[in-house]
Amino acid sequence: ACPRSGPFRAGELALAVLRRKHNTTLKLLCRLAAEAVLSSPGGVLPHRDIIGQLPGQVLLASGGARLLLRRPSLDEYVLLMPRGPTIAYPKDISAMLMMMDIHPGDTVLESGSGSGAMSLFLSRAVGPKGRVLSYEIRDDHHSLAKKNYRHWRSAWEIGHMDEWPDNVEFILKDISTAAADMKSVTLDAVVLDMLNPQCALPVVHPSLKQGGVCAVYLANITQVIELLDRIRSCKLPFLCERIIEVTHRSWSVLPA
């Protein structure tokens, strides 16, 4: 069997899926350890009963609940991992990755590490020959992003018997003061997830390749208007190509 289909091992991440009423599900994430237990509304399940089992099996918790055990996808991990600030959601990250047209081997700058969600997706997109520079102004967010990134990398290596790229450099610094850093780097793309992205644009522009894309993640249209006003008033050399809102709709299909 290939490593991805191999049995669960101590130290890797496991996802337990509990189906509830009205066709809803509860997902529980745990890092497997021989002496630990997984607690759920339907009872507990010792980790030792999971270790050695193949993903995709249904195991019974002490209260009779049926738990489907499998390895988490990256989007499930970022939704369930510890977080401080609100994360960029996978649906939005996917859209930004497509807009930036990131390729393996690219160098990408991220400002606003947050909890590390975007950093992980960028890490996968640029691959082992690429590089991600992730700036964060707050020490607590910086530390959490690094912790979540290390947690995923180490669990991936155990579960998949393959190394996740160590290609993200987390930098504790205000991007608006990083002009000197930019002199020695050429950027294929930039992604900004911060309250005042207009402060970062003059700093990152000289290092962004001609025709490179800067994707900005903003919470509301007021912030979009403020950003566009600053670009016009300061005559920054950026062209706004698209403003989009990404919607995600889940369906529940039941037998007639």
Amino acid 256: pLDDT: 77
The verdict on residue 158 lying in a domain is yes
Residue 79 token pair? 């939704």
Beta-strand pair 13-19/66-70:
antiparallel
Instruction: Spell out the per-residue pLDDT of the chain, length 256, in tens.
Output: 444 569 999 999 999 999 887 778 999 999 999 999 999 999 999 999 999 999 999 999 999 999 999 999 999 999 999 998 888 899 999 999 999 999 999 999 999 999 999 999 999 999 999 999 999 999 999 999 999 999 999 999 999 888 999 999 999 999 999 999 999 999 999 999 998 999 999 999 999 999 999 999 999 999 999 999 999 998 989 999 999 999 988 887 877 7
Q: What angle do CA 117, 170, 114 make, to 5 degrees?
A: 35
41 and 130 assigned to the same domain? no
48 and 136 assigned to the same domain? no
Amino acid 136: pLDDT: 97
46 and 68 assigned to the same domain? yes
CA–CA separation, 34 and 234 (whole Å): 59
Q: Which residues contact 134 (CB under 8 A, 6 or more apart)?
A: 109, 110, 111, 113, 119, 122, 145, 168, 169, 170, 171
CA–CA separation, 185 and 125 (whole Å): 19
Amino acid 215: pLDDT: 96
Amino acid 5: pLDDT: 65
Q: Per DSSP, which regions of the chain are E strands?
A: 13-19, 25-31, 37-40, 43-46, 57-60, 66-70, 107-111, 131-136, 168-172, 187-192, 208-216
56 and 149 assigned to the same domain? no
The verdict on residue 167 lying in a domain is yes
The verdict on residue 152 lying in a domain is yes
87 and 201 assigned to the same domain? yes
Please count the other Cβ atoms lying within 10 Å of the Cβ belonging to residue 105. 12
The verdict on residue 21 lying in a domain is yes
Of 16, 43, 72, the domain-final residue: 72
208 and 120 assigned to the same domain? yes
Contact 222, 230 (CB under 8 A): no
Give how far Cα 99 sits from Cα of 74, 92, 103, 105, 220, Å.
Answer: 20, 11, 12, 17, 19
Amino acid 4: pLDDT: 59
Amino acid 1: pLDDT: 40
Q: Provide the number of structural domains found in the chain.
A: 2
Q: Which amino acid, one-letter code, is at 181?
A: D
CA–CA separation, 78 and 224 (whole Å): 25
Amino acid 141: pLDDT: 96
The verdict on residue 228 lying in a domain is yes
The verdict on residue 148 lying in a domain is yes
Domain containing residue 8: 3-72
96 and 144 assigned to the same domain? yes
Of 27, 48, 72, the domain-final residue: 72
Q: What is the CATH number of the domain that holds 34?
A: 3.10.330.20
- Only one residue has tokens 């700036």, namely 135
CA–CA separation, 134 and 153 (whole Å): 16
41 and 102 assigned to the same domain? no
Give the containing element (helix H, strand E) for 130.
none
101 and 224 assigned to the same domain? yes
The verdict on residue 241 lying in a domain is no
93 and 19 assigned to the same domain? no
103 and 63 assigned to the same domain? no
Q: What is the CATH number of the domain that holds 220?
A: 3.40.50.150
27 and 98 assigned to the same domain? no
